[in-house]
Chain A
Amino acid sequence: MKIGILKYRSGNLASVANALKRLGAGYLVTDEAERLEHCDAVIFPGVGHAAPAMEDLRNLGLDQWLKMTDKPVLGICLGMQLLFESTPEGDCRTLGLLPGRLEKFKPNSIKVPHMGWNHLEQIKNHPLLNGLGEEDFFYFVHSYFAPVTEYTLAAGRYGDLFSAVVAKKNLMGVQFHPEKSSRSGRRLLSNFLDLAGSSEGN
C-alpha cells in the first residue's frame, strides 16, 4: 500500500511523512496528479494562509484532481478547511467539496489562534474514529473554523462549536494535527491507513 502526500506550498510535509514512517506505511511526496493516481490513498496537509494555498493548488491542477478522485483523501488542518466552499481568510473561494463557509474565531473571551490540546464532542460512528472517544486529546492550531454540518463526524468546542472531523464518501478531514497528537493521533492515522487498505482493489 502506498500513501501519497500531496505536496504544495502550504504543506507540513516532514511531520506527516515522519508519522507515516513511524506507522511503517509506504508513502511518496508529490505535486503531480499523475503520480497520486498510483497511490492507494492521499493525505492533503496544510498550514498557513488559504488564498496562496488555493492559488498553488490551481496552478498545479491539484484542485481538479481532488474534485475528481474517488481515492480516500484525508485533509489535515488547512487541508480540511479547503474542502469547504469559501473562507473569509483573504475572502477566498475554496474547493467546494463540502458545504459551508469558514469563520474566524472572535477574540473576545477566547484567545486566537485556538492552540493546544482539545477533545472531541458529538462523535458519530465512522471507521476513521475507531477506538477514539471523548477522552482522547488532539493538537489544534487554527484561527478559522468550519461549521458543523451533516458531514461532521466529531465537533470541537472553542467558544463556538466547529467541525473537528468530517467525512463525505471518500473525502475525510481533520482540523487538528494527528501527526502531532501522540497516541490518539497515531490511532486516527492508523484508522485511515486501514480504510485505505480496505478500499484497495475496489
Chain B
Amino acid sequence: MLTKRIIPCLDIKNGRTVKGVNFENLRDAGDPVELASRYSREGADELVFLDITATKEKRKTLIGLVERIAAEIEIPFTVGGGIGSVEEMGDILRAGADKVSLNSAIVQNPDLIRHSSDRFGSQAVVAAIDARATGNSWEVYVKGGSEPTGLDAIEWARRVEMLGAGEILLTSMDRDGTKSGFDLELLQRTNTVTTIPIIASGGAGTIGHCIDAIRSGKADAVLAASIFHFREIEISELKSEMKKAGIPVRI
C-alpha cells in the first residue's frame, strides 16, 4: 500500500541550515547535508530544502549544495526558494534534485508550470501555495507571504493541477509557526478539487496534528520544520504512532 510521507523541511541561507521561528531570530544550525543525513537515517521519506538566501550569488551556492546533498542522500528531495525560470529549474534538477517547488513565479507567470512540466515531467514540478484565510475562503500570498494576490487558493490549486503540476505543497499561513495544528478545512477543500498529491504544511505541533492532517485533511504527506529541528518529535516516534492509528507508513 502507498504510504503517507513525512517530510522535514530545512531552511537554507548562504549554504547553511538556519532555524528560527517565523523567519525571525535565525540562527545557524549547521551543515544541511549533515542534518539531511540524520533525517534520512531516522526515517524521513523525503526532504524539502527552502533557500531563503537573498544575495545575488545565491544560485551558485545553492547548486553546489544540491550536488552535495544528491551525492549523500538516498531519498528524494525538493528544492525551492525564488526559482523563476525553466533554465534555473534545469540547473537544480541536473545537480541532482528530484523536484523543484515553485511559488511566486507561477503566480506571476502560470505558463511556467506548463513549460517546466513539459520539459522535466510533472513529477518534478511542485506548486507551493501559501494561503491565508479571509472569511470563508483563502487567499494566495507570494513573496514569502508578504504580498496578497487576490487569487482564491482553492481555485488556484485546481488551476496548477490543470497546468501540469505534479504535487501541491499547501501552507496555511495562519497556522504556520503556531503549532496549533494544520488547517484541516483548507486541506479538505483543496483535496476535493484536485487529484494530485497534497503536502500539508503549517501548524504541526503534535503527533496528533499530523495524524489529523492525513485522516481528516486527506493529505498525502506532512511537512514540518521546527518540531523536527528542535527534536520535539522524533520521526521514528511519529511514524510508529501513525502506524498504530492505522495509517500506512514506511518503517
Q: Does A162 contact B (CB under 8 A)?
A: no
What are the interface flags for B48-89 relative to A under an 8 Å C-beta threshold, 1 for contact and 0 otherwise? 000000000000000000010011001110000000000000
- C-alpha gap A183/B75 in the complex (Å): 10
- C-alpha gap A48/B164 in the complex (Å): 12
Q: Does A191 contact B (CB under 8 A)?
A: no
The size bracket of the interface on B is: 20 to 34
Given A14-B96, A182-B74: A117 touches B45 (CB 8 Å cut-off): yes
By a CB distance below 8 angstroms, the chain A residues around B45 are: 116-117
Q: CB within 8 A of A141: which of B4, B67, B123, B220?
A: B123
By a CB distance below 8 angstroms, the chain A residues around B166 are: 113, 115, 141
Given A107-B195, A180-B76: A114 touches B2 (CB 8 Å cut-off): yes
- Contact of A21 with B1 in the complex, beta carbons under 8 Å: no
Find the B residue at minimum CB distance from A119.
Answer: B1
By a CB distance below 8 angstroms, the chain A residues around B243 are: none
Q: Does B95 contact A (CB under 8 A)?
A: yes
Given A14-B96, A19-B74, A111-B220: A49 touches B1 (CB 8 Å cut-off): no
Find the B residue at minimum CB distance from A157.
Answer: B1
- Name the prevailing secondary structure of the B interface residues: loop
- Contact of A139 with B75 in the complex, beta carbons under 8 Å: yes
Given A48-B121, A113-B123, A137-B3: A18 touches B221 (CB 8 Å cut-off): no
Q: Does B23 contact A (CB under 8 A)?
A: no
Find the B residue at minimum CB distance from A106.
Answer: B195
What are the interface flags for A106-139 relative to B under an 8 Å C-beta threshold, 1 for contact and 0 otherwise? 0100011111111100000000000000000101
By a CB distance below 8 angstroms, the chain B residues around A158 are: 2
By a CB distance below 8 angstroms, the chain A residues around B1 are: 118-119, 157
Total A-B pairs, Cβ < 8 A:
84
The size bracket of the interface on A is: 35 or more
By a CB distance below 8 angstroms, the chain A residues around B4 are: 116
Find the B residue at minimum CB distance from A137.
Answer: B250
Q: Does A71 contact B (CB under 8 A)?
A: no
Find the B residue at minimum CB distance from A112.
Answer: B195
Q: Which residue of B67, B70, B121 has the most chain A CB atoms within 10 A of its CB atom? A: B121
- Contact of A18 with B124 in the complex, beta carbons under 8 Å: no
By a CB distance below 8 angstroms, the chain B residues around A111 are: 195-197, 220
Q: How far does the Cβ of B223 sit from chain A's closest Cβ, in whole Å?
A: 13
- Contact of B3 with A47 in the complex, beta carbons under 8 Å: no
Q: Which residue of A49, A181, A182, A186 has the most chain B CB atoms within 10 A of its CB atom? A: A182
- Contact of A14 with B40 in the complex, beta carbons under 8 Å: no
Give 3 nearest A-B pairs by CB, closest first: A107-B195, A48-B121, A14-B96
The residues of A with any CB-CB pair to B shorter than 8 Å are: 12, 14-15, 18-19, 21-22, 47-49, 107, 111-119, 137, 139-143, 157-158, 177, 179-183, 185-186
A-B contact pairs, 18 of them (CB 8 A): A14-B94, A15-B98, A18-B70, A19-B74, A113-B122, A113-B123, A116-B2, A116-B3, A116-B5, A117-B3, A117-B45, A117-B250, A137-B3, A137-B250, A181-B74, A182-B40, A183-B74, A186-B74
